Amino acid sequence: MDHAADAHRTDLMTITRFVLNEQSKYPESRGDFSILLNHIVLGCKFVCSVVNKAGLAKLIGLAGETNVQGEEQKKLDVLSNEVFIKALVSSGRTCILVSEEDEEATFVEPSRRGRYCVVFDPLDGSSNIDCGVSIGTIFGIYMVKDDHEPTLDDVLQPGKNMLAAGYCMYGSSCTFVLSTGSGVNGFTLDPSLGEFILTHPDIKIPKKGKIYSVNEGNVRNWDGPTAKYVEKCKFPQDGSSAKSLRYIGSMVADVHRTLLYGGIFLYPADKKSPNGKLRVLYEVFPMSFLMEQAGGQAFTGKQRALDLVPTKIHERSPIFLGSYDEVEEIKALYAAEEKKA
């Protein structure tokens, strides 16, 4: 038995240790935020274990209901949603929960109430379960001011007011990516320890990228700037080589690759979906928050994504996010289009 190697394994930076280290930088902290993150991490571990067994456990297939977005619900969606609702309520640190699966927000009963609002998509990309493609959980955290009864307005805030955001990707490994507002860190689940270990400290997205990620099946419905940008990716006029197209169709997986390798992920508005397809609170905001924290940008076609003020909990928005220079190009194309108008 290699005792030296075993000893080294206990000196790893686990996510719990990382969060507690962060907490110690704020002497006034009561530890509420750390407890909340611990409960989110526990929910992710549970969903990871269930996703891995999905093919065996007869959990695949439709649960027979349609969720508020008109998507047929997979059994795993329903289960993941229950897991996160229970984990978040039982933390005693939340007051409002907004889930992609539930039409209405959940208001936590006063006796179990805390200061945080959590917005989340419990299982993003779940239509990909049957073919083994990476899927994930996305979340964002807001804080409620102490001086009033929580209302929906506490959640309908711009993304720049988020305290933290992250996602957990269930793929070839289980990866948890988190930002609490000072950089982005990635953790990988060590199944033998049951712990998330820091494997990607201080993630920075490359300033430029060689990959673009978009559903090109919608090309005939796109607006001018999107079509121009993608045309430029494929047929660059400056003599540079063309960009590669990579599109998985699972937002967590596409954004994760963009974050690590650089490039751009786009889900623009089109004639079919004039407001875009992705939901503002629990898809656009958390991913935009992470991108900006990693040195990239996120843009809606009209403004910085994190400045958007949602009016409904399931509101949608177009989104362009990724490497700083790539998003700059998109912004220039939209600005030129506006001048023409």
- Which CATH number do you get for residue 19? 3.30.540.10
184 shares its domain with 314: no
The answer as to whether 251 is a domain residue is yes
In the listed set 144, 168, 200, which residue is the last one of a domain according to the structure? Answer: 200
Per-residue pLDDT of 174-211, as tens digits, reads 999 999 999 999 999 999 999 999 999 999 999 999 99
Cβ neighbors of 179 (< 8 A, separation 6 or more) are 164, 165, 166, 185, 289, 290, 293, 294
> CA–CA separation, 70 vs 30, rounded Å?
41
CATH, residue 248: 3.40.190.80
**305 or 76: which carries more pLDDT confidence?**
305
The answer as to whether 265 is a domain residue is yes
pLDDT of 151 > 90? The answer is: yes
Per-residue pLDDT of 84-127, as tens digits, reads 999 999 999 999 999 999 999 999 999 999 999 999 999 999 88
> CA–CA separation, 51 vs 79, rounded Å?
10
164 shares its domain with 310: no
156 shares its domain with 273: no
104 shares its domain with 224: no
Number of domains present in the structure of the chain: 2
Share of the chain above pLDDT 70, in %: 91
Q: Quote the domain boundaries for residue 239.
A: 211-340
The answer as to whether 206 is a domain residue is no
Per-residue pLDDT of 270-321, as tens digits, reads 999 999 999 999 999 999 999 999 999 999 999 999 999 999 999 999 999 9
> CA–CA separation, 122 vs 81, rounded Å?
5
pLDDT at 226: 97
Q: What pLDDT band is residue 57 in, cutting at 50, 70 and 90?
A: low
43 shares its domain with 141: yes
Give the chain as a 3 state SS string.
CCHHHHHHHCCCCEHHHHHHHHHCCCCCCCCHHHHHHHHHHHHHHHHHHHHHHCCCCCCCCEEEEECCCCCEEEHHHHHHHHHHHHHHHHCCCEEEEEECCCCCCEECCHHHCCCEEEEEEEEECHHHHHHCCCEEEEEEEEECCCCCCCCHHHCCCCHHHCCEEEEEEECCCEEEEEECCCCCEEEEEECCCCEEEEEECCCCCCCCCCEEECCHHHHHHECHHHHHHHHHHHCCCCCCCCCEECCCCCHHHHHHHHHHHCCEEEECCECCCCCCCEEHHHHHHHHHHHHHHCCCEEECCCCEHHHCCCCCCCCEECEEEECHHHHHHHHHHHHHHHHHC
In the listed set 167, 200, 233, which residue is the last one of a domain according to the structure? Answer: 200
- Mean pLDDT over the full length of the chain: 92
165 shares its domain with 143: yes
pLDDT at 127: 83
